[in-house]
Chain A
């Protein structure tokens, strides 16, 4: 098989790190070679977070090459836009788009304008966009923090990785009291995709 390329992009505190941890654990359980790379130095200070995950028979580079991402799991609209150069251009690139905006400090203090047309720009360049308000869905489930697992569930379907026992992966990597909730969030994400 050819190596698959996934990007998780968002803002510090959105749970991208746990989502990529679960993703890689699931891929490992299936026997894939997996590599992952993260830039998170500024994530605690409202900065962007970008995680590269690659899997296949034999993976060399730990980072996704520009224009080669099969799937971008976008936790935040502006961050998807910022990293759109990674998406495949052959009409086969998929974006899981969380319809959530986290305003950078410049927008908060009124000096910058959030790009209103972010979703349109993304749609125009992606083969497929699965858009959802995962934060709202998470709120309905009673815990805003499982937003990341909803997005993971949605992307698993698009990646064709449903044969992996994700329930088990979640059970093994999440605190016992949150396992059921996260499994529920994962299934919800799958159904939304």
Chain B
């Protein structure tokens, strides 16, 4: 029976059908739901890893130990995992291994728009690019065959639309793939120069064999219609092109894209009058086609940024405009995402944003929203973990200036701290910068939708495990100035910042309060007794309309412009009390039960 499922769900299903036994990932949009769905299959051992590098390295171990294994990550996650990825390609596998990269053309929730197809080329690994959910499942099963046949990990490249779109999938059964015995093989698995040189030769020879596969496989095919326009495309771009041109063009639809099928490309080019390359982001296919000496149109006419949506193709090819008309555009106002009502980050950033002579070095998570209104309390965001090391470097330079008053406050979430923040904090401890590090511990990985992490005390299956203590880690590094505070108590936040900013030594402040959306465990309920259970209201007779409460950025607070009074939406308020602490006339009060 066919089911309507997302690409992420189809990849999970494909992993199950392919007999995969081990899966590891770090959450990241749009790849998060892959592991969440894999974890529903009890035959597969599934784990949230602290970061993508550890995820991939444990997948290498699982493959060597004889189990088919899969690692999933968003595109920037592969940067973190790039180190093992390149060498894993040299070593090869025992049981099949696949690395899923979920790219983000259009950058829905990412810091960049890098095209990870370039990784396949750089690491010399085979690569699949599915267009829809059926292909996600079928290609993933095939990817494990290719991985084992050619003794190499396979890169599986998806994009946001492929990950998050639903289409019909014919489901299959799980293959019985027995564990392969582990055989000690130092020449294959120890990548010292003497071993790695022949490994590279093997990988290059394999590339030639995979070229034969690329020309013959079912994933790369010519669809001949009208010969006037010949379109070479892969992934979701195939679907968009079909939508625009229908049977009015011919297609070379590519699903296996490293190595690219030279013979097939030449054959296609010889059959059509004009070749167009339609692909998102980089001219990955185009550069190859041009290198084959085939004239074509690609990035000379199509954009290099954003999604190659049907209207984009149509406007380039036929000059049809699609933007909103001016009158509507002028009327539309933004609806930016906000920190939720009751978000434990609110009180902290409200206080931090008021500081002078402070540079706030930020990181990746919900709290990145603090860079926007009304807080403007985050000045840098680069990549996971960078807040601390970037802040370290900045503070070291500020401190070379005579009479320096600039202090750097690095702000990082709990999951991001475990991801790569720990390494950065070691740098601070070791190289003695006068940095204030703040770990916003909201007891969950919130941004990607409430995943557990090493600090929550729960595995992906909800089993109880060691809850790693951030405070214990920090103290073990040798930090003497450490405070754990409740971020909803503004006086506590203010006092901690005053203390840290006057110290002439590094310090660490840990704010500890759960995400307002977290499904609290029994331990949480005990520790954070009474959290999110009360509601506040505005006594309009006392309110002076000063709007101070609106500067906490809480979505539960509504300023009534006509009345010049604030009010609180009781449906949204969960009683964090930050607005009540900000109100200069005590107009905001707790609703008594």
Least Cβ–Cβ distance between A65 and chain B, in angstroms: 4
A118 to B325, CA, bound (A): 14
Chain A residue contacts of B332, Cβ below 8 A: 78, 81-82, 115
A37 to B239, CA, bound (A): 13
A44 to B518, CA, bound (A): 12
Chain A residue contacts of B108, Cβ below 8 A: 39, 41
Q: Which of A63, A103, A109 contacts B161 (CB 8 A)?
A: A63
Chain B residue contacts of A42, Cβ below 8 A: 109, 337
A105 contacts B242, C-beta separation under 8 Å:
no
Q: Kindly report which residue of chain A lies nearest to residue B560, judged by CB atoms.
A: A110
A121 contacts B166, C-beta separation under 8 Å:
no
Chain B residue contacts of A106, Cβ below 8 A: 333-334, 336, 373
Also in contact, A37 and B322, with CB within 8 A (given A45-B369, A109-B557):
no
A179 to B337, CA, bound (A): 33
B4 contacts A24, C-beta separation under 8 Å:
yes
A38 to B338, CA, bound (A): 20
A69 to B164, CA, bound (A): 20
A39 contacts B164, C-beta separation under 8 Å:
yes
A35 contacts B333, C-beta separation under 8 Å:
no
A110 contacts B547, C-beta separation under 8 Å:
yes
B165 contacts A35, C-beta separation under 8 Å:
yes
Chain A residue contacts of B165, Cβ below 8 A: 35-38, 62-63
B161 contacts A46, C-beta separation under 8 Å:
no
CB contacts under 8 Å to A, within B321-353, are 322-325, 327-328, 331-340
Q: Kindly report which residue of chain B lies nearest to residue A76, judged by CB atoms.
A: B335
Chain B residue contacts of A113, Cβ below 8 A: 333
User: B550 within 8 Å of A by Cβ?
Assistant: yes
A162 to B325, CA, bound (A): 34
User: A174 within 8 Å of B by Cβ?
Assistant: no
A62 contacts B167, C-beta separation under 8 Å:
yes
User: B267 within 8 Å of A by Cβ?
Assistant: no
A63 to B324, CA, bound (A): 17
Least Cβ–Cβ distance between A152 and chain B, in angstroms: 17
A66 contacts B4, C-beta separation under 8 Å:
no
A61 contacts B547, C-beta separation under 8 Å:
no
Chain A residue contacts of B168, Cβ below 8 A: 28, 33-34
Least Cβ–Cβ distance between B80 and chain A, in angstroms: 20
Q: Which of B4, B238, B325, B559 contacts A28 (CB 8 A)?
A: B4
A105 contacts B555, C-beta separation under 8 Å:
yes
User: B561 within 8 Å of A by Cβ?
Assistant: yes
Encode B340-378 as 1/0 by CB contact (under 8 A) with A: 100000000000000000000000001001000110000
Q: Which of A84, A85, A109, A112 contacts B333 (CB 8 A)?
A: A112
A61 contacts B328, C-beta separation under 8 Å:
no
User: B292 within 8 Å of A by Cβ?
Assistant: no
Name the residue among B238, B327, B336 with the largest chain A CB count within 10 angstroms.
Answer: B336
User: A48 within 8 Å of B by Cβ?
Assistant: yes
A121 contacts B327, C-beta separation under 8 Å:
yes
User: B130 within 8 Å of A by Cβ?
Assistant: no
CB contacts under 8 Å to B, within A103-124, are 103-115, 117-118, 121
Chain B residue contacts of A65, Cβ below 8 A: 243-244, 309-311, 314
A108 contacts B331, C-beta separation under 8 Å:
no
Least Cβ–Cβ distance between B136 and chain A, in angstroms: 12
Least Cβ–Cβ distance between B434 and chain A, in angstroms: 34
User: A60 within 8 Å of B by Cβ?
Assistant: yes
Q: Kindly report which residue of chain B lies nearest to residue A67, judged by CB atoms.
A: B322
Q: Give the dominant DSSP class at A's interface.
A: mixed
A85 to B311, CA, bound (A): 11
User: B250 within 8 Å of A by Cβ?
Assistant: no
User: B26 within 8 Å of A by Cβ?
Assistant: no
Q: Which of A37, A67, A79, A115 contacts B166 (CB 8 A)?
A: A37
B550 contacts A37, C-beta separation under 8 Å:
no
Encode A91-112 as 1/0 by CB contact (under 8 A) with B: 0000000000001111111111
A148 to B314, CA, bound (A): 34
A113 to B340, CA, bound (A): 22
Chain B residue contacts of A11, Cβ below 8 A: 335
A112 to B336, CA, bound (A): 12
Encode B525-560 as 1/0 by CB contact (under 8 A) with A: 000000000000000000000010011010101110
User: A125 within 8 Å of B by Cβ?
Assistant: yes
A109 to B547, CA, bound (A): 8
Name the residue among B243, B322, B340, B557 with the largest chain A CB count within 10 angstroms.
Answer: B243
Least Cβ–Cβ distance between B321 and chain A, in angstroms: 9
CB contacts under 8 Å to A, within B135-168, are 161, 164-168
Chain A residue contacts of B339, Cβ below 8 A: 45
Q: Kindly report which residue of chain B lies nearest to residue A44, judged by CB atoms.
A: B517
User: B240 within 8 Å of A by Cβ?
Assistant: yes
Chain B residue contacts of A121, Cβ below 8 A: 327-328, 331
A184 to B327, CA, bound (A): 39
A115 contacts B333, C-beta separation under 8 Å:
yes
A107 to B334, CA, bound (A): 10
User: B29 within 8 Å of A by Cβ?
Assistant: yes
B314 contacts A108, C-beta separation under 8 Å:
no
User: B132 within 8 Å of A by Cβ?
Assistant: yes
Least Cβ–Cβ distance between B302 and chain A, in angstroms: 16
A84 to B243, CA, bound (A): 20
A84 to B327, CA, bound (A): 11
Q: Which of B309, B328, B336, B340 contacts A63 (CB 8 A)?
A: B309
Task: Give the interface of A toward B (CB within 8 A).
Answer: 11, 24-25, 28, 33-39, 41-42, 44-48, 59-63, 65-67, 78-79, 81-82, 84-85, 103-115, 117-118, 121, 125
Besides A62-B165, A110-B547, 11 more A-B contacts (Cβ < 8 Å) are A36-B167, A38-B164, A46-B337, A60-B239, A67-B322, A104-B334, A106-B336, A108-B558, A109-B559, A114-B333, A117-B331
Could you list 25 A-B pairs, sorted by A, with CB under 8 Å? Answer: A28-B4, A33-B168, A42-B337, A44-B340, A44-B517, A46-B335, A47-B335, A60-B243, A61-B310, A62-B167, A65-B244, A66-B311, A66-B322, A67-B322, A84-B324, A84-B328, A103-B558, A104-B335, A104-B336, A105-B335, A105-B553, A108-B558, A109-B374, A115-B331, A125-B328
